[in-house]
Amino acid sequence: MFNNLIDKVTTYFSGTDENRSGPEQRQDIPRDQHNVSRSAISEPAKKVLSRLNNAGYEAYLVGGGVRDILLGGQPKDFDIATSATPEEVHELFRNSRLIGRRFRIVHVLFGREVIEVTTFRGNAADADEEDDDDDRRTSEHGQLLRDNVYGSMQEDAVRRDFTVNALYYCIRDFTVVDFTNGMSDLKKRQVRLIGDPETRYREDPVRMLRAIRFAAKLGFTIEPETEAPIHKLAPLLTHIPPARLFEEVLKLFSAGYGEVTYDLLSDYNLLAPLFPETAAAIANGESDQLIRQALRNTDKRIAQGKSVTPYFLFAALLWPALQAEWRRRQDNGDPVQPALHSAIGWVIGQQVQATSIPRRFSGPMKEIWELQIRLPRRQGKRSLVTLSHPRFRAAYDFLLVREDAGEIEPGLGQWWTEFQELDEKGQERMLSELGSATGPKKRKRKKPAKKD
C-alpha cells in the first residue's frame, strides 16, 4: 500500500507515466507532411467536428478514420474524440444518444451513418482513490470493467489500444497529432500496443482479437512485444461476456479478410476461447477445410460488395464440432437423423457459453445443418418440399461449400443447381431420371425395427 502511494506521488510529480514504454512526446505533423485531406472525411463527421469546435471544445478525428485515410483506404466509420463531456455533446446534437456503460459514448445519427463521439479519457495508472467509485472498476483479473474517468488529450492517446489507432486529425489547422509514434509504426506497417502489453491485454483481453483483426485487415505484422504475451493470455477471453465476443467474431470475419484472420487466430491460440468445441474437434483430427472454403467465399463476396449472414458464418465455424459430435452419437448407436438433431442442440448449448448466438441467427443455422441430410434425398415430392423450404438457398450454398472443400463427392450441388432453374416439366424429367438411375421407384417395405 505504501509502495502504491509512492508510485502515485512519483507519477504525479514527474508528470509522466513510467509504466508506459516508448517516447510519448507530442508530434504535430503539418498538412504538407501527411496525406489526410478533408475530402476523405464524411460530411456528417465534418459537421460534428466543426460544431464541437465552434462551441469551444477541442475535437479531433481519431482511430480507424485517420488510420485508414493515411493508408490510402476508405474508413468504415468515423470516430471523434473531444474535450466535451457526453452530456455536453448530447446537448449540442439533437440527433444523438448517450450509450454504453463500460465506456460512455455518444452516437450522433445522420441517417444510416453513426458518428461515435468519445470524451478524452484519463489515464488508468493515475487513477486516484476518489476515482475508485463507480467511474472506474477493475476485476480480479485486472480487467477494466468501467472506464469513465475523463482526462487530457495526451491521456486519451495512451488509453487507446494501438499506436496506429491513436492518431488525431484536427480539421481547423489540418495537423495530425501523434503522441505514441503511431506514424512511424504506420510506416513500418506494424500493430503495436501502447504501454505494457500484458497489462493492456489484462485490462481488456479483447485487444488480443483487435490485434489480429487489424493485422489481417491492414496486412501489418504484430510487433514482437505486442505479440509475445498473446499465447499465454488467450484464455483470459473466457472472462468476456458472450454477447461482446459474438460482436467481435462478426467483426473478425466480416471485414473481408476472414481466411487470414482464421489462420492468425489459430496460430495465436485464440480460436479455442471463441470456438472451444471447434478447436477441440480440429485438434482431434477433424478437418477445417469447410471453414476455410466458407471464409474464402465470404471474403470474395465482401470484395464484390455483397453481404454475409452471421448464421452462415456460424454454421461453417461450428461445422467441425458438429461433425465430431454427430459421429460420436452415431457411434453410440443413435440413428443418423436423431443423432444430428441432438448433436445440433449440444453444439449450440456449448457455443453460447463462449459467444452468444442470438435466436434470429441460431434458428436459420440449425435449418442449414438439418437440410444437409435432406438435400441428398430427392425422390418423389421430397425435392419440391426441400426446394420450397425458406432456408433452401443457404443450405444449398452450404452444400456447395462442402463440395468445394472436398468433404463430399461433387455432383449433388450441380443437380440442385439445375433442378431449381427448371420449370415443372423439366423438374419431373430430372426426378424420373433420378428414379431410373437409382433403381425402381417402388418403395421397399420397411422391415420392422428389431427390438432387443
Residue 146: what are its φ and ψ, rounded to 5°? -150, 145
Name the helix (H) or strand (E) containing 147: strand 144-147
Contact map string, positions 11 to 50, toward Mg ion, x by CB under 5 A: ----------------------------------------
The distance of closest approach from Cβ of residue 424 to ligand ATP in the complex, given in angstroms and rounded to an integer, is: 49
| 452 catalytic per annotation | no
Contact map string, positions 288 to 327, toward ligand ATP, x by CB under 6 A: ----------------------------------------
CA 193 vs. chain centroid, Å, equals 19
Which of these ranges, 133-141, 160-168, 226-234, 432-440, lies near ligand ATP under the rule CB under 6 A? 160-168
User: Judged by CB, which is closer to ligand ATP: 166, or 264?
Assistant: 166
For Mg ion (CB under 5 A), the number of binding residues is 4
Q: Contacts for 340-346 with beta carbons within 8 Å, 24 or more apart?
A: 340/369, 340/370, 340/373, 341/370, 344/369, 344/370
Q: Of these residues, 68, 147, 156, 161, which one is catalytic?
A: 161
- The type of residue at 41 is I
- The type of residue at 289 is Q
Residues 50-89 close enough to bind ligand ATP by CB under 6 A: 63-64, 76-77, 79
Q: Of these residues, 77, 126, 135, 263, which one is catalytic?
A: 77
DSSP per residue over 112-131, as a string? TEEEEEEE-BPPGGG--GGG
Out of Mg ion, ligand ATP, none, what residue 156 binds, judged by CB under 5 to 8 A for its kind, is none
Total residue count of the chain as it appears in this document: 452
User: Judged by CB, which is closer to Mg ion: 77, or 263?
Assistant: 77
User: Judged by CB, which is closer to Mg ion: 79, or 325?
Assistant: 79
For ligand ATP (CB under 6 A), the number of binding residues is 12
- The type of residue at 222 is I
Write the DSSP symbol of residue 446: P
Q: Which of 70, 183, 206, 208 binds ligand ATP (CB under 6 A)?
A: 206
DSSP per residue over 257-313, as a string? -HHHHHHHHHHTT-HHHHSHHHHHHHHTT---HHHHHHHHHHHHHHHTT----HHHH
Q: Which of 104, 207, 378, 402 binds ligand ATP (CB under 6 A)?
A: 207
Q: Nine-digit cell at 295?
A: 471464409
Q: Which of 52, 64, 121, 268 binds Mg ion (CB under 5 A)?
A: 64
Does residue 77 touch Mg ion according to CB under 5 A?
yes
| 77 catalytic per annotation | yes
| 79 catalytic per annotation | yes
Which of these ranges, 64-72, 157-165, 266-274, 321-329, lies near Mg ion under the rule CB under 5 A? 64-72
| 3-state class (DSSP) for residue 62 | strand
| 3-state class (DSSP) for residue 160 | coil
Torsion-angle region of 276 (φ positive above 0: left; ψ -120 to 50: alpha; else: beta): alpha
The distance of closest approach from Cβ of residue 16 to ligand ATP in the complex, given in angstroms and rounded to an integer, is: 20
Residue numbers at the binding site for Mg ion (CB under 5 A)? 63-64, 77, 79
**Catalytic residue positions?**
77, 79, 161
**Contacts with ligand ATP, residue ranges (CB under 6 A):** 63-64, 76-77, 79, 160-161, 165-166, 204, 206-207
